[in-house]
Amino acid sequence: MNHNVEFKHFQPDQRIRKLIDELINKMEKRAKRFPPDEVFLRLMIEENSVRKLYHASLVLEIPGKSPATKKTLATKEERHDLHETLRDAFDEIERQLEAYKATVTGEYVWKRRTRREELRRMKGK
């Protein structure tokens, strides 16, 4: 997975960089279904020094079967604690990614018995 990490108005320490690497590796595992060279993650972290508030913006671009079906998942989080901000942002993107994968695989159809029967009938035709 390609990724770009930007920091505005501060320089992160080694612990923050390590946390970001861990979270990106976790995201790579979740996105194994998609071609790794076409998935792009953009993370932008900004510090408001007056209020000591951290703003994290996370965008995950997922390829589709055609360029028109490309999917973009995004989230924004603001917290006073940078670790909490990053974890919440990545948790939200993971939730969105799992929901998208469920729709792509048709998981919502298989949840109810009647829908399963309808799907079997449609495939049988």
Q: Are 77 and 92 in contact (CB under 8 A)?
A: yes
Give the span between the Cα atoms of 39 and 88, in whole angstroms: 21
Edge to edge, the sheet with strand 40-48 lists 2-8, 40-48, 53-62, 71-79
pLDDT in tens, 67-84: 778 899 999 999 999 999
Domain ranges, residue 39: 2-124
Our count of domains for the chain comes to 1
More confident residue, 115 or 21: 21
Instruction: Answer yes or no: pTM beyond 0.85.
Output: no
CATH code for position 64:
3.30.160.100
pLDDT in tens, 19-47: 999 999 999 999 998 888 999 999 999 99
Q: Is the pLDDT of residue 103 over 90?
A: no
Which DSSP symbol is given to 67? G
